[in-house]
């Protein structure tokens, strides 16, 4: 199990100070958000600069997350096609950065599964051509794909993995950890963040909410997964990284 962090910690500002600090504090793994003002993923010079910064800091990027506005399940065909092209753009960026996977929400709305399939019919072959893995993340409910059954059906159909977002799945306090057994072998990555079970997308540091992390990791195969601690932007970045490090040390010691 590799444990890293998401650049959501600084998504409202440049990613580069975070990478420098990660190197100083010996954080090894990162998931990168594609977001203007954070990482200018459409600019080739910014991509080169990021690649150099990661190498210099000794940080390995595990995944790339497309912009939040993307909706490959949009019922507006123009928006759907625009989203598909943007995902393909992110796949090319991932290939240049030697990032193994792109995390993708099946929908950013409630929609028909047939529309999502139409988009995946384009995206998956493109990702295979460029040797970048597409992984489906359960979005915040009630968006289509937020339930594990729909997500598993799409994963099975397209032979692609799943990214389990704990803050999304358990936002409403519907805690049934055993249900995770149904997707256990399909989970490639976990977006690990805690929840107050208040129906909000809390993205708290594990331990700040009500989730039982021992039960979560007991019900999924955690030997070959990547765990990305995905939190809201930090006011005090150094302090937040120290808090994250404490969680990582416990988990790597098997103390959930």
pLDDT tens digits, 28-55: 999 999 999 999 999 999 999 999 999 9
pLDDT at site 24? 93
As given in the structure block, the two tokens for residue 68 are: 């939040």
pLDDT at site 176? 86
Tell whether omega for the bond before 142 is within 30 degrees of 0, i.e. cis. Answer: yes
Query: Which residue shows structure tokens 């709305």?
Result: 109
CATH 3.20.20.150 fits 2-252, yes or no: yes
CB–CB of 51/86 below 8 Å?
A: no
pLDDT beneath 70: ranges in the chain: none
pLDDT tens digits, 143-160: 999 999 999 999 999 999
pLDDT at site 252? 87
pLDDT at site 170? 92
pLDDT at site 96? 96
């Amino acid at each position: 199990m590799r444990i890293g962090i998401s650049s959501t910690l600084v998504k409202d500002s440049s990613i580069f100070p975070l990478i420098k600090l990660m190197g100083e504090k010996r954080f090894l793994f990162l998931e990168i958000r594609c977001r203007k003002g954070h990482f200018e993923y459409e600019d080739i010079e910014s991509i080169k600069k990021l690649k150099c910064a990661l190498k210099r800091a000794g940080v390995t990027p595990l995944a790339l997350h497309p912009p939040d506005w993307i909706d490959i399940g949009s019922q507006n065909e123009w928006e759907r096609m625009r989203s598909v092209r943007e995902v393909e753009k992110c796949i090319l960026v991932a290939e240049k950065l030697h990032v193994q996977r792109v995390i993708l929400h099946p929908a950013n709305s409630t929609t028909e599964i047939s529309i999502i399939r139409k988009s995946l019919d384009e995206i998956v072959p493109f990702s295979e051509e460029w040797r970048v893995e597409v992984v489906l993340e359960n979005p915040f409910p009630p968006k289509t794909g937020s339930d594990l059954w729909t997500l598993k059906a799409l994963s099975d159909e397209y032979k692609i993995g799943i990214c389990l977002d704990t803050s999304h799945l358990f936002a409403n306090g519907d805690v049934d950890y055993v249900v995770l057994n149904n997707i256990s072998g399909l989970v490639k990555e976990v977006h690990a963040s805690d929840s107050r079970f208040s129906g909000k997308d809390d993205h708290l540091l594990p331990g700040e909410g009500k989730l039982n992390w021992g039960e979560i990791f007991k019900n999924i195969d955690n030997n070959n997964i990547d765990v990305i601690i995905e939190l809201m932007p930090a006011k005090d970045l150094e302090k937040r990284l120290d808090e994250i490090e404490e969680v990582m040390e416990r988990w790597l010691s098997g103390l959930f």
